[in-house]
């Protein structure tokens, strides 16, 4: 059996949620578990969060009706589920059948909901205050929601917005979005429209825009123990949920002047030994990490050398006492040494979301309680 795996620490996941509960100060929590819980395994993560009893999330957030159906059918979750994706005619009856809350955001949604013929369904409206993606424009929101609430069987269970720059130090545009959203709420109240639960704060906003908590917050990446930006790293004592591990397949001697892997990116300046490890870019161990990242063996960091290949990487171990079968940590910690998600993102010039979602399905997940 291939020894490369992602270890998912469910105790850390639960600990992170309980910390977020403290920040929420009694407000509701929507746990974002879309994209297979950011690569951590949606079913297993939701089961762990649901085990917290009255501290469990009040809602779960997904990005497709397929994900929602897994939670209902396989996980037997009864908690409200909000789907952030756009509604369409072909799936609308599934929302009714499985009691899933769709997002409404465009005029077509009015016709889609009318097609249900009065069947009961709860919806949340996404108000576009500046994200420029899914959502009804804030200046059209009141008229749109009037029409939505007039449809027989439809209940407006909530309204929300999504910040475009909440992870940036400059909060000027986030503040503009916040004011636009507040104005929509005032207009809805003046029109006598019951808009349900109000939510705006994603992980970045939870950490830095405390005056927009409203009725509910939407933690995503911080649930999994990673800050949404390096600048906010350390604002919460988060516990990383995912570690990436493997074992040394073999040791090979490399003489001075010999090269390692494609393109001869590494040429030995002196005789050394390399540890060969069965992981590669097909697993999400990105090629951009080549010659720039470390692995931890027996509590010591060793540099990865040569071009990362589809299935295999190499580490320069010198003449240390390392043998085939020894454990190696590619992401996580061992013996006081760490390789963090942010170590990867700096090299890959990307965001931690992509790192975690990029750990492929070929890497088996092992769950630790």
Q: Classify strands 101-104 and 81-86 as parallel, antiparallel or unpaired.
A: parallel
Q: How far apart are CA 93 and CA 116, in angstroms?
A: 7
If phi > 0 it is left, if psi is from -120 to 50 it is alpha, else beta; for residue 332 that is left
- Neighbour tally for 189: CB within 10 Å: 11
Q: For the segment 89-122, what is each residue's pLDDT rounded down to a tens digit?
A: 999 999 999 999 999 999 999 999 999 999 999 9
The pLDDT value recorded for residue 229 is: 86
CATH of region 10-226: 3.20.20.10
Residue 1 has pLDDT above 90, yes or no: no
pLDDT band at 230 (very low <50, low <70, confident <90, very high): confident
What is this structure's pTM? 0.94
Residue 209 has pLDDT above 90, yes or no: no
The active-site residue, picked from 139, 189, 256, 262, is: 262
Q: For the segment 283-322, what is each residue's pLDDT rounded down to a tens digit?
A: 999 999 999 999 999 999 999 999 999 999 999 999 999 9
The pLDDT value recorded for residue 110 is: 97
Residue 199 has pLDDT above 90, yes or no: yes
60 is catalytic: no
- Percentage with pLDDT > 70 across the chain: 100
Q: For the segment 321-362, what is each residue's pLDDT rounded down to a tens digit?
A: 999 999 999 999 999 999 999 999 999 999 999 999 999 999
| Mean pLDDT along residues 147-168 | 96
252 is catalytic: no
The pLDDT value recorded for residue 51 is: 97
- Phi, psi (rounded to 5 degrees) for 156: -80, 100
Q: At what angle do helices 42-50 and 10-24 cross, to 10 degrees?
A: 60
The DSSP 8-state label assigned to residue 326 in this structure reads: -
* CA distance readout (Å), 65 to 20, 92, 103, 216, 319: 26, 9, 11, 22, 54
The active-site residue, picked from 28, 34, 122, 247, is: 34
Classify burial at 297, counting beta carbons within 10 Å of its beta carbon; exposed 0-12, middle 13-18, buried 19 or more.
Answer: buried
Mean of the per-residue pLDDT values of the chain: 96
Domain boundary assignment for the chain:
10-226, 242-368
The pLDDT value recorded for residue 270 is: 98
Give the CATH superfamily of 242-368: Lyase, Ornithine Decarboxylase; Chain A, domain 1 (2.40.37.10)
The pLDDT value recorded for residue 234 is: 74
* Dihedral sign from CA coordinates of 78, 198, 94, 71: negative
Q: For the segment 168-192, what is each residue's pLDDT rounded down to a tens digit?
A: 899 999 999 999 999 999 999 999 9
The pLDDT value recorded for residue 233 is: 77
Q: For the segment 240-288, what is each residue's pLDDT rounded down to a tens digit?
A: 999 999 999 999 999 999 999 999 999 999 999 999 999 999 999 999 9
Q: For the segment 22-63, what is each residue's pLDDT rounded down to a tens digit?
A: 989 899 999 999 999 999 999 999 999 999 999 999 999 999
């Amino acid at each position: 059996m291939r020894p490369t795996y992602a270890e998912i620490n469910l105790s850390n996941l639960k600990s992170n949620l309980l910390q977020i509960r403290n920040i929420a100060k009694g407000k509701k929590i929507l746990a974002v578990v879309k994209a297979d819980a950011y690569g951590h395994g949606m079913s297993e993560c939701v089961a762990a969060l649901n085990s917290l009893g009255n501290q469990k999330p009040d809602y779960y957030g997904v990005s497709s009706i397929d994900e929602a159906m897994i939670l209902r059918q396989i996980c037997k979750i009864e908690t409200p589920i909000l789907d952030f994706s756009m509604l369409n005619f072909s799936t609308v009856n599934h929302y009714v059948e499985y009691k899933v809350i769709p997002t409404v955001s465009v005029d077509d949604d009015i016709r889609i909901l009318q097609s249900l013929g009065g069947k009961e369904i709860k919806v949340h409206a996404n108000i576009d205050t500046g994200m420029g993606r899914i959502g009804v424009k804030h200046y059209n929101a009141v008229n749109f929601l009037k029409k939505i609430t007039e449809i027989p069987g439809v209940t407006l269970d909530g309204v929300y917005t999504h910040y475009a720059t909440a992870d940036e130090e400059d909060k000027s545009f986030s503040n503009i979005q916040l004011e636009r959203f507040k104005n929509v709420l005032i207009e809805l109240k003046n029109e006598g429209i019951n808009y349900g639960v109000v939510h705006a704060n994603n992980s970045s906003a939870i950490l830095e825009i405390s005056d927009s908590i409203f009725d509910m917050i939407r933690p995503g990446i911080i649930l999994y123990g990673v800050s949404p930006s390096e600048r906010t790293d350390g604002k919460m004592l988060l516990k990383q949920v995912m570690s990436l591990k493997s074992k040394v397949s073999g040791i090979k001697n490399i003489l001075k002047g010999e090269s390692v892997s494609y393109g001869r990116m590494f040429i030995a300046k002196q005789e050394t030994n390399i540890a060969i490890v069965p992981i590669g870019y097909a697993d999400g161990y990105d090629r951009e990490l080549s010659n720039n990242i470390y692995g931890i063996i027996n509590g010591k960091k060793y540099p990865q050398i040569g071009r990362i290949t589809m299935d295999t990487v190499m580490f320069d171990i010198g003449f240390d006492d390392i043998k085939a079968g020894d454990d190696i940590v590619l992401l996580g910690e061992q013996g006081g040494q760490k390789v963090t998600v942010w170590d990867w993102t700096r090299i890959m010039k990307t965001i931690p979301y992509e790192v975690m979602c990029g750990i492929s399905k070929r890497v088996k997940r092992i769950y630790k309680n």
